[in-house]
Amino acid sequence: MYGGGRVDALQRYESELLRWNQKINLIGPEAREHPGEHIAEAVAAAEILKPSGNALDFGSGGGLPAIPMAIVAPAATFYLVEVDTKKWAFLKHAVRECGLSAVVVGDRLSRALARFPPNLRFSLVTSRAVGNPEEWVPLVRERLEPGGRVALFQGSPDVPPIAGVSATEVHRLPRGASNFLVVLMFHVKQ
């Protein structure tokens, strides 16, 4: 499905993730036991979302789903936002090791958004189980390009009411019965 370079990069990412995780807590116990399934889930999400242009992932942690998505979607430039300095250091390392077009920012989402150039817009924003979407989606909505989407990796297909959402798609992810990709679409004012 993907060229040998992408497979190599995915394997390199998994190896580095597990190696670094021995020193710092990057991923939880279930992900440590089944890292390949988590990586395959991120690849499946990339097949659904087809990232291109600028993509933002925040609360990036150990890089799931953003690093595998960046590996298999080279048409996208990923901006990874992570406040934890040890996780941020790992993300910088993984980006270098995998030869990715990505920018790693060590900060909270609100401060990172304020630091980005005012004209930077995102076609896609991803987040895996970070906070309450109704609180942070309004922050990123202003930074979406026309047709931009927010993709939530979560354990439920449900989303609380969020102002401006014009449509929602729900995709079941392959890692189990309670893994969903919920895609929010907006009418973005020019």
Residue 41, pLDDT above cutoff 90: yes
Mean pLDDT, rounded, of the chain: 92
Question: What is the average pLDDT across 12-40?
Answer: 93
> What integer pLDDT is reported at residue 163 of this predicted model?
86
d(C-alpha 135, C-alpha 182), whole Å: 16
pLDDT, tens only, 84-113: 999 999 999 999 999 998 999 999 999 999
Whole-prediction pTM: 0.93
Ordered structural domains, the chain, with CATH: 4-186 (3.40.50.150)
Which has the closest alpha carbon to 63: 125, 120, 14, 5? Answer: 14
Residue 2, pLDDT above cutoff 60: no
Instruction: Give me 118's structure tokens.
Output: 């005012």
d(C-alpha 179, C-alpha 173), whole Å: 5
